[in-house]
Amino acid sequence: MKKSFINHLSPFWNHEKAIPTFMLALACFYWLSKCGSSLSLDETITYWVVQGGFKNAIYRAVNYQGSGPIHYLIVWLFVQIGGNSEIVLRLPSIFACILLCIVLYRFSCKIFDKESAFLGIIVLLCLDGIFVFAVVARSYALALLLSVGSTYALYRWTESNERRYKFLYILLSTLTVYTHCIFAGILLVHFVYLYCHRCWGKTDSKSWAYEVIKIYLYIAVLVSPEAYQVVLLSTKKNIYSFAPVPTIVDLIQSWVKPYLILSFMSAALGTWIVTKNINIKRFTIRLELLVLLLSWYLLPSFLVFLYSSVSGASIFAGGYYSWGLPALSLLLGKGLSLIKPARSKRILLKIFVGLMLIYGGIQSPLKENWSSAIAYTQTRINGSNIPVVAYTGLSESRDTSWVIHPERRKYLLSPFAVYHLDNEPFLLPAIFDQSGAVEYLEKAVFPELRKVNQFYLILRMTYIVVNKSAVTSDDYLVKQMELLGFHTRRVESFGHVKVIFFEKI
């Protein structure tokens, strides 16, 4: 019986896959070991959104976040069951990433083969950002899962025309939009594929067009409430502009990915040095599937680039065009499967995976140790009346009305909703000379600081644009406090979070 079980597994598993699988297992263990560490700023926002109950979670998700309410409702449910520890908050993303790998594997098996599917999952997990999405309490992993699921359902529907896949496509597409509105761009990819399928496939044009229109009308009706959040986001686009305006070079780099090219070239060179023999078999794929994968990979970066260039609000950051990464992993998985001979493929894969995992490992997002910074400050204060001032660096703090507003300031102080001080800290605006900031500081912050001889400042390390020049937040704030007569006495670093102790000169 044992032998038959092994024989049954043999088509899916062999010794050639053992080493890359072991390397991935170590990488997974490395990243999962970080799940109990301090939440980053964005993750503390997730906790702030879900801390007030079911209805409040929906309200805060819609009014304070760019992503939709689905992820936050799932996190809220996990918190009700398991508490609000860092691990519990991150569990939905971990489970979503596991399911993502399963769905993408099945998808690749359908359009390619099992070896390509296995290699594609390896590539996916090695790509910069995927492990990050898996271990942070944000909506990216779930949005990736749903967008891949909807694309897989679309493929199965176009191949079989079965009603269950139509229903599944409508459901998953709708949930994708409600998880993160920017991932709704996957529907444009689907339009391209459907058009190509109609042109090159054997379908009745009239009945096919009627069916497609009907399905997208269903989706449009189901996602129409999300338009309210999109309108809200459009009214606040200026404060949500957090990235430099991208150039054509930035767009090309988002497609080419220098770290990926260098890793592959190094692996290919190392393989050739060892074996002196490396070749690639002919790549074959149906034309409409090639268009699907290429548009799936290229469109996300282009759409975010276009929006960032013409809207006046730049959001050109990896997370916002990450929904193209599954397509890249499918293509690269198939490409790796074509390498021959088998020995060369094994060597190249080991070097390539190793280099990619090393690069990904140094891109850890978990570098903001708010937990230790706030605990350190609390210990130093120890019940005294020494005030604490906070700068979290959220883009909304550039609007002083957010700093003043009773609820919005709570959002800006989200790290202190998770990790508590005895008293709420005084919140600082992004820069002191922005509109309304001087009046706020003179009424609410500076009078309290003038009463004491010392205070603590907790800040997140970021860049602040002052007179069109970028300076670090700590340099800027130290200079501002010196103007008030305070001098830096002690600085403690907790990753990208600093605690600075000031005394009067």
Q: How far apart are CA 443 and CA 421, in angstroms?
A: 23
The winner for highest mean pLDDT among 161-165, 209-213, 296-300 is 296-300
More confident residue, 13 or 131: 131
Distance CA 498, CA 460 (A): 6
Give the dihedral of Cα atoms 475, 481, 486, 492; nearest 10 deg: -40
Q: How far apart are CA 505 and CA 498, in angstroms?
A: 21
pLDDT over threshold 60, residue 401: yes
Residue 10: both structure tokens together: 């043999």
- Quick one: DSSP state of residue 281? P
Structure tokens at 75: 């996190």
Give the whole-angstrom CA distance, residue 477 versus residue 449.
Answer: 14
* pLDDT of the residue at 68: 87
CA distance 501 to 487: 8
pLDDT of residue 4: 44
Q: SS3 of 504, please?
A: strand
pTM (2 d.p.): 0.92
Instruction: Show the tokens assigned to 149.
Output: 């699921």
Residue 445 DSSP one-character state: I
Q: Is the pLDDT of residue 5 over 70?
A: no
Lowest-pLDDT choice from 118-127, 464-473, 477-486: 464-473
The secondary element (H helix, E strand) that includes residue 470 is strand 469-472
Alpha carbon distance 470, 375 (integer Å):
30
Give residue 197's pLDDT: 84
Burial of 304 per CB tally in 10 Å (0-12, 13-18, 19+):
buried
Residue 106 has pLDDT above 50, yes or no: yes
Closest CA to 75 of 67, 83, 66: 83
CA dist 348 and 385 (Å) reads: 62
What pLDDT is stored for residue 133 in this prediction?
A: 87
